[in-house]
Structure 1
């Protein structure tokens, strides 16, 4: 039995979550007064000092400093950074609801920042934290949405480090969704980014885990070894221990037990040396399991007893239960039922104590939440004491400024020493270059002497060269003249053919434009004349005294159906929309216009934009009609105040994610109408899939996936058939 230890990989990336002070750039380039600049600079220094406290391990002190700072803070960029620190604090302690709350607060303050570059960089960091929170809550689709938003922002402002951070997060979401193909693709893309060793190391470990789950142990070992080399190079002993543990587990799954024991022993030595107690216990447990597989029960028992002692010292209760169960298993295999019963009793007692501790922990968490709420109330009541605390803060800020000045002085001293060494090295290089030039001059003199000797020997041969050159030139002229004549004849024939083709193209374009105009005229006539007449007839029928008779009702229903058919026919005759405009621009304009007209807040996200704009026009029209139908249903029935639309093209599959915050409905009791049936028919026509998720008072999410490649092939076949039919008709007309 191999212990599941993949949760340890999260420990390797803690530094990614808490390196905000290195990523946030607070250079505001907007013109401000001198007073405002000094105030903002003071606030910025305070935030930097708080982050340094947090990263040096004094997290609770940093949290208290944040709450004090927020009482008097004025500038949105500094407030957003401080609030975001609170979100990271609660994320680390797995209090995910609080982390999400503070991240949302940071997003609100972030929206007020005037510097676009800083604003969008902070947005990208906040989107990343949201993705991490929701993946830990098990809401993988929501996490995916936040990482996609982060990718869009980081691409727009060319933030390479944040782009790969979100790409790594998105790969983790795909891995959690058991989508190994996309997870592998994105993790391998992360390996191209060499500037962040944590992302590279995490990608190696995750790729190894995926191949291990797929039972491709050879590839898994390859990527684990790559990660091991990098961890040794960067002296990351924790990552090295985790990777070596993974290699041992792979060997054990392949029944190479001796190789597995060798790896586990290496993990124990690394973990004991670096005080990685949890990893050392897992490795010892795996060694015991390997000895059981080899039927070396005595050695296994010794290992488990020593591991149990260490788990007792460290206070790891779950590990103690596991080791007692393993000792019980060995006792049963040795027919020592007395010891087996004793170990079983000890394991059950520990389990009971763990349950009690768990209950106490939950009570403590609730108490902490209550205390935080109380403290926030106290902060609001104690705002009148700000004057005295401001003086303390100013003294602290002056001390920080002095420290910064000292650091700048030390940096300048080091820069001067570096310049001195550079000047000395440049002098040496110039001396070397002078020596090289002397050598080159001597070699040139020797060459000149050789050349004079050769000129005297071969001088008489040079006189013959012009005569030979003239003869060759005359021969080449004759040859080139003949080739020019042939080429001119070919060019003239090509020009004639090109003129004929241009005339054919002009005729085709003229016929197409004429058809479009005629279709538009017919659609207008159908909609304005016939549609208007039908509407007038319906109004007159409704005013008849005998309008309640069933015949009149049937007649009005028939008129409605006829009017709808005329309307649909008029709309289908209108020329295509996307001939002169890009698809995404038309869709975004339509979406925004609908939002403005109905007072609904709209959000539209496309990724990747160029590939979606390049789709076949027939597919684009169908997608546009699908989105029209979804919008119509939402405006009519949902009573929503916000609509979110996302288009994603991944692996030749177009994903349409349509979300609203309306009243929702129960899909089991819902009877689909004509609009809903038309929507399903359009999606079936495109060989797509359609999933709808809705609940009362929670809104509706529509998830549509359309395979683009198969549709485009079908359209090409249809167009090819149409071209063949046109050619046959042309031949008939010629006859």
Structure 2
């Protein structure tokens, strides 16, 4: 009857909570629609950022966030705005982190950080260091996390206005030690962060510090300080209506009660956490709180079915927000619950889902959770050899630094598998390790079992004693013989070396080597001087060429184009124009003026401080004026940070492409011109190819265009490959090591 009433109460609470959740979702959709409508109307950076911020805070809509981040990127290209580029890369990275694609997320964060540092945007660089460190904590790469937190704190100390960021990073720095299981270091830095937050009167950060202290004291089994820290944090949260942090704190209190083997007392706190999460309306938090509540219920006799129902309720919410790590946790709890219920088929179904996610995420946490779930299932089915393999994988991770407070259980279960396989010596060893790891309060529980294994182990030891002694004797004899051989070999080698050294005329060889070295250095200096001279002459020629291009561009744009415009206006006033007899001439005059204007734009140097070589070449090819029947295509290597290409190299490559494409337009009569930019293993290359009439390179190597192209390539140390033939088109490939 009590179980029935408890289940009825749980169902009633779930219905009410779902009703509240539906109201919150409706409010969210209305607010998001208003923000999107505003962004579509205004189309500026602030409006787009408001939508991105809302999507990020709600923890859902990663694909939609990517779309708005790309809209900001289009603004950046159009306005050549550094702020737009920073916001675009930053929001794109957050979207990939939400999707669980940490590789792309980190790549974009690095790109944004480099851009901010080059522009000396200290505030932006500091925020990016904090974000990168946070996500390294999430994926358990704690040394990398601390590196970026340290870097950010050094920047914050130089800027007093960024003190709030310093407190945040100090707290996250302490968290990295907490996650890694280094409680002493975590306590030291968390106390420092707490003192800093209290001195600066930062209540929000003080709450985080108190919450973290409670978790640390829980791990250290200090009950009094643990509860005191959590209570102080809760008072501050509820005074400020901070439901988000309050939900996490109630969840931490519930976890503490579970650690002290009091799961029934943990239930009210976990339910309170769910209630606060629903008030906040954050799907990410709702899913996490459901997971914690379901896991606690599964550990209480008679409430396991309720726990399974709550865990299954969390799955669609976590799938919606793409929280794959928490999904792994849910699957693990469900596997354990079904295993304890004897429902092996249901447990195996969820094990398959956990297997897929664990291999996608490729982190130690998920792999360990998968092994921890699969090994007991195999053991339950009597597949002891297979179970042993997975227990050994877990133990290997534990011995290499992975933390698990229940590690002794794995040694216990491995000992049971070894016993079933009749490997008593291995079973004894595992049971001994389990006994050493477990607290003294569990000593008497396994002493008798340990003694049984010990008797069997020593019995086999005595049976093998004679064989072992004989083996040791043979090994000693082999070792003695080995030492004699080594000593004789070394002695013979020393004699040979001494005889050889008597015949070496050391002084003469040293003198000859010194003279050869001096001659080599002089020759090298001459070659370097010759190369420097050639480069200076080439640079001087190219600088003059660029200066003349800029002068001609200015003359064409400001003088010739304007004169043609004035001429066009004068002609329009003639009576013949009004009769329509000069429409063809006017159209030709307009075409000439537009072509001169385009030529002036192409002659001007590109602005590489706001766009990469990839973006500039893409824009150039896209806006080419092509004859009828001709098309131009552009492609580049994907996933490359093109900001790493030096501006000097990018500028010369841009001019080289202009020169080669111009030649193709003039002489090739091609149907297609292709431009391909590649970067692999530090090697930058650009290929310009057409399918035109071609020419014989041996008979045409003195053209101005080709000579200028070769000089530009030589100016940056690039290599030029020219391939052509009559009727085979032209291919020009320029390569340089960056």
TM-score (norm 2): 0.37
TM-score (norm 1): 0.37
